[in-house]
Amino acid sequence: MSAQETARTRWRPEPIVERAERAPERVRIYEVAPRDGLQAEAAIVPTRTKIELCHRIAAAGLRDIEVTSFVPPSWIPQMTDAADVLPALGDLDGVRTVALVPNLRGLERALAAGARHVAVVVSATESFARANLNAGRQAALDTATTVAGAARGHGLGVRGYVSMAFGDPWEGPVDRGVVAGLAATLYEAGCSTVALGDTIGVATPGHIRATVRDAVGRGVAADAVALHLHDTYGQALANVVAGLDAGVREFDSSAGGLGRCPYARGATGNLATEDLVWLLHGMGIATGVDLDALVGVSRWIAAQMGRADLPSRVATALLAASTGQ
Ligand code: MG
Dump pLDDT digits (tens) for 211-247.
Answer: 999 999 999 999 999 999 999 999 999 999 999 999 9
DSSP summary character for residue 259 = S
- State the pLDDT at residue 323: 80
- State the pLDDT at residue 261: 72
Q: What's the 3 CA to ligand 1 centre distance in angstroms?
A: 41
Q: What's the 42 CA to ligand 1 centre distance in angstroms?
A: 15
Q: What's the 177 CA to ligand 1 centre distance in angstroms?
A: 22
Q: What is the mean pLDDT of the chain?
A: 94
> How many CA atoms within 13 Å lie on the side-chain side of 207?
21
Q: In whole angstroms, what is the distance from residue 210 CA to residue 287 CA? A: 26
Q: In whole angstroms, what is the distance from residue 112 CA to residue 8 CA? A: 53
Q: What's the 269 CA to ligand 1 centre distance in angstroms?
A: 6
Answer for the pair 146, 186: CB distance below 8 angstroms, yes or no. no
Q: What's the 12 CA to ligand 1 centre distance in angstroms?
A: 31
Nearest to 240 by CA among 297, 200, 184, 196: 196
Q: What's the 32 CA to ligand 1 centre distance in angstroms?
A: 7
Nearest to 130 by CA among 177, 79, 171, 77: 171
Nearest to 253 by CA among 321, 311, 168, 307: 311
DSSP summary character for residue 161 = E
Query: CB neighbours of 166 closer than 8 A, spacing ≥ 6?
Result: 173, 174, 179, 196, 198, 199, 200, 202, 203, 207, 208, 211
Q: In whole angstroms, what is the distance from residue 148 CA to residue 276 CA? A: 29
Q: In whole angstroms, what is the distance from residue 66 CA to residue 157 CA? A: 13
- State the pLDDT at residue 132: 87
In CATH, what class is 24-323? Answer: alpha beta
Residue 191 annotated in active site: no
Q: In whole angstroms, what is the distance from residue 196 CA to residue 225 CA? A: 7
- State the pLDDT at residue 156: 98
Q: pTM of the entire structure?
A: 0.95
- State the pLDDT at residue 265: 74
DSSP summary character for residue 87 = G
Greatest pairwise CA separation for the chain in angstroms = 69
Q: What's the 254 CA to ligand 1 centre distance in angstroms?
A: 8
- Phi first, then psi, for residue 120 (nearest 5°) are -115, 155
Please write the tens of the pLDDT for every residue from 77-91. Answer: 889 999 999 999 998
DSSP summary character for residue 99 = E
- State the pLDDT at residue 10: 82
- State the pLDDT at residue 8: 62
Nearest to 165 by CA among 252, 107, 104: 252
- State the pLDDT at residue 11: 87
Q: What's the 6 CA to ligand 1 centre distance in angstroms?
A: 40
Measure CA of the first residue to CA of the last residue in the chain; give whole Å: 17
DSSP-derived 3-state class of residue 207: helix
All residue ranges of the chain with pLDDT < 50 are: 1
**The one catalytic residue among 121, 261, 294, 301:** 261
- State the pLDDT at residue 3: 55
Q: What's the 237 CA to ligand 1 centre distance in angstroms?
A: 14
